[in-house]
Structure 1
């Protein structure tokens, strides 16, 4: 079960849609990253936009709900929206292609301590985050 933000000691591990897909497929690497993070009392989460991005007709809703119940689903606030635009602007990237990546990156950057993003878009996340976030490609 997801832990509330106030009880965490440090950091965040965020999944993008491919990270979520791998988690739902019981990928040992992604599952191991999540278990390790939770054992360290690190927030394991995803953006609510990631849920929308991950949805397609072959996804079973019961599995999606069961797996996301173990994670914290984070909303996209106005502040995150504007910081995501700044990230895009600073990286010379276009919102049409990189909108959700920029929200995930901005969300990670909003946390203190270790910040990890599990993603299939490692190059894009590195463009957005630089060395401020550990990017794990899956």
Structure 2
């Protein structure tokens, strides 16, 4: 597989599938995170991503270890309102896309350039437009 090029500095954001792949030692995701760190990029997730990615079979020790190396961004009132506005602007409903909107809103606030590792390219394109580079996982 061809190596994806990342910019120096900036932020790599993981959505729930990105975090799940990292938890499962998925080689391309692990390599992308390692390359991002090598290039000085911070690796971040929304606090809500943890809720979406974790399930009863998640290795809790591995989860703690992975999370210790990520910056976990909290979601407060202002962030929730901004994510809601993004949903409305994109014509999406919060019932299905709430966490995607929170992740997109968080990604837009990070140090640029921002790369978002996601399985939801179509939805994230509607939410982020071209302001975030989307990489399929």
Q: TM-score, normalised by structure 2?
A: 0.89
- More deviation, 49-58/36-45: 36-45
Matches within 5 A, 1:20-99: 20-99=19-98
Residue 112 of structure 2: aligned partner: 113
The runs of 5 or more residues in structure 1 that have no matched partner are 1-8
The runs of 5 or more residues in structure 2 that have no matched partner are 1-7
Deviation of 1:116 after TM superposition, in Å, equals 1.1
User: Matched residue pairs, number?
Assistant: 130
Deviation of 1:86 after TM superposition, in Å, equals 1.1
- More deviation, 34-43/99-108: 34-43
Deviation of 1:78 after TM superposition, in Å, equals 1.9
Deviation of 1:93 after TM superposition, in Å, equals 0.3
Deviation of 1:67 after TM superposition, in Å, equals 1.0
Deviations along 1:15-67, one digit per CA (max 9) or x if unpaired, are 11110111111112111211121122211011110001112111121111111
Q: 1:91 to 1:32 in 2, by over 3 A?
A: same
Runs of 4+ residues over 4 Å off in structure 1: none
What is the aligned-residue RMSD (CA, Å)?
Answer: 1.3
Q: TM-score, normalised by structure 1?
A: 0.89
